Structure 1
Amino acid sequence: MTRIIADISVSLDGFVTGPGPGPESGLGAGGDALHTWAFSDDPDDRRLLREATARSGAVVLGRRLFDLVDGPGGWNDETGYGAGEVGKPAFVVVTSTPPAAVRLADLDWTFVTTGLADAIAAARTRAEAASAARGTDLDVVLMGGGATVGSAVAAGLVSTLSLHLAPVLLGSGTPLFPPHTPQRPLTQRSVLRTSTSTHLVYDVG
């Protein structure tokens, strides 16, 4: 079964970037601490990253995050989705206007201009096709940014919420959930504490 998983790193005070995120500093001041777990040598962190990315059939991201990863200082041969733990899933970008050109032309990009729900539907189609081709269940992963993930959870478009809780207080930045987010019942499925983070997985009602 294809799950729709919102997967994001967050500070203890609820921010997914530090203050002042922008083209030169996508995670803002101090925001790199949120992703320490993804590059650590802790065996549990490595296993979690490997298992999660291996199940990625398609990945959804917002336009601001796309501009960062496709920009001059973005992903390259050494860094990218899953920090080298996975191949190349399809990527679906929610945007009002597709870019004129793509730097990372070796990746499979789809640009959806009709909203987040349609982008997730397109990603589900790609993930299900990849599942059939590989003979195993693959997921749709919403990797960010914060507005994309928070809006998807608020709209009831997500079945699983995977949070990587970093031991840091950022004070300000991009909040994970917008103000007045509707109530959503959560069922806790797993908790994994590593040397760098606390990894939490919830089913979303």
Structure 2
Amino acid sequence: MTRIIADISVSLDGFVTGPDPGPDNGLGTGGEALHTWAFSDDPDDRRLLREGTARSGAVVLGRRLFDVVDGPGGWDDTVGYGAGEVGRPAFVVVTGSPPKSVRTANLDWTFVTTGPADAVAAARERAEAASAVSGKDLDVVLMGGGATIRSAFDAGLVDVLILHLAPVVLGSGTPLFTGGTPRTLVQRSVISTSTVTHLTYDVR
């Protein structure tokens, strides 16, 4: 069964970027501290990264995040989604209008202009097709940014919420939640490592 999983790193004060994020500074000032765990040698961090990317049949992201990863300083053969840990899942971008060109044309990009629900539906189709080929259940992973995850969460599209709670207070930046529709979460796991606390919730 394909699940919709929102998976994102967040500061103790609830931000998924530091202040002043932009195409040349995607994580904002100080935001690199949110992702220290993804580059650590801690065995639990490595295992969770490997497991998380291995289950990705399709990945959803917003246009601002796409502009960062497709920009000149963005993804390449060594840096990218699950680099070194996963193959090449399909990527679905929620956007007002598709870009005129794509630098990372070797990746499978789909641009959806009709909102998060349609983007998630398109990603589910891609993940289910990948599941049929691989013979194992693969999921849709919402990797960000914050506004994309927040809108999907508020719309009731998210089955599982995974937060990587980094030990940093950023003070400002892009908030993960800003109010919206109340949701009940059921805590499924808490794993503390030397760099972060990994929290997994089912969303009701």
The TM tier, using the shorter chain, reads: over 0.9
Q: Is 1:105 aligned to 2:105, yes or no? A: yes
Residue in 2 that maps onto 1:183: 182
Q: Is 1:27 aligned to 2:27, yes or no? A: yes
> Is contact 2:9–2:35 with CA below 8 Å preserved after alignment?
yes
Residues of 1 paired with 2:99 and 2:176: CA distance?
A: 26
Residues of 1 paired with 2:177 and 2:138: CA distance?
A: 26
Residues of 2 paired with 1:31 and 1:84: CA distance?
A: 22
Residue in 2 that maps onto 1:201: 200
Residue in 2 that maps onto 1:151: 151
Q: Number of aligned residue pairs: give it.
A: 204
Name the SS of the counterpart of 2:83 in structure 1.
Answer: helix
> Is contact 1:5–1:162 with CA below 8 Å preserved after alignment?
yes
Matches within 5 A, 1:21-170: 21-170=21-170
Residues of 2 paired with 1:134 and 1:100: CA distance?
A: 33
Residues of 2 paired with 1:170 and 1:162: CA distance?
A: 20
Cα deviation code 1:57-103 (max 9, x no counterpart): 00000000000000000001110001321010000000011011110
Residues of 2 paired with 1:89 and 1:145: CA distance?
A: 18
Residues of 1 paired with 2:45 and 2:60: CA distance?
A: 22
- How far does residue 175 in structure 1 lie from its aligned partner after superposition? 0.2
Residues of 2 paired with 1:169 and 1:54: CA distance?
A: 30
Residues of 2 paired with 1:113 and 1:56: CA distance?
A: 22
List structure 1 runs of 4+ shifted beyond 6 angstroms: none
- Letter of the structure 2 residue corresponding to residue 124 of structure 1: R
**TM-score, normalised by the number of residues in structure 1:** 0.98
Residues of 1 paired with 2:84 and 2:25: CA distance?
A: 22
Residues of 2 paired with 1:102 and 1:182: CA distance?
A: 35
**TM-score, normalised by the number of residues in structure 2:** 0.99
Residues of 2 paired with 1:151 and 1:113: CA distance?
A: 14
Residues of 2 paired with 1:177 and 1:154: CA distance?
A: 9
- Letter of the structure 2 residue corresponding to residue 204 of structure 1: V
Residues of 1 paired with 2:25 and 2:98: CA distance?
A: 23
CA RMSD of aligned residues (A): 0.6
- How far does residue 40 in structure 1 lie from its aligned partner after superposition? 0.6
**Which structure 2 segments of 5+ residues have no match?**
none
> Is contact 1:146–1:175 with CA below 8 Å preserved after alignment?
yes
Residues of 2 paired with 1:25 and 1:135: CA distance?
A: 39
Residues of 1 paired with 2:24 and 2:81: CA distance?
A: 19
> Is contact 1:38–1:83 with CA below 8 Å preserved after alignment?
no
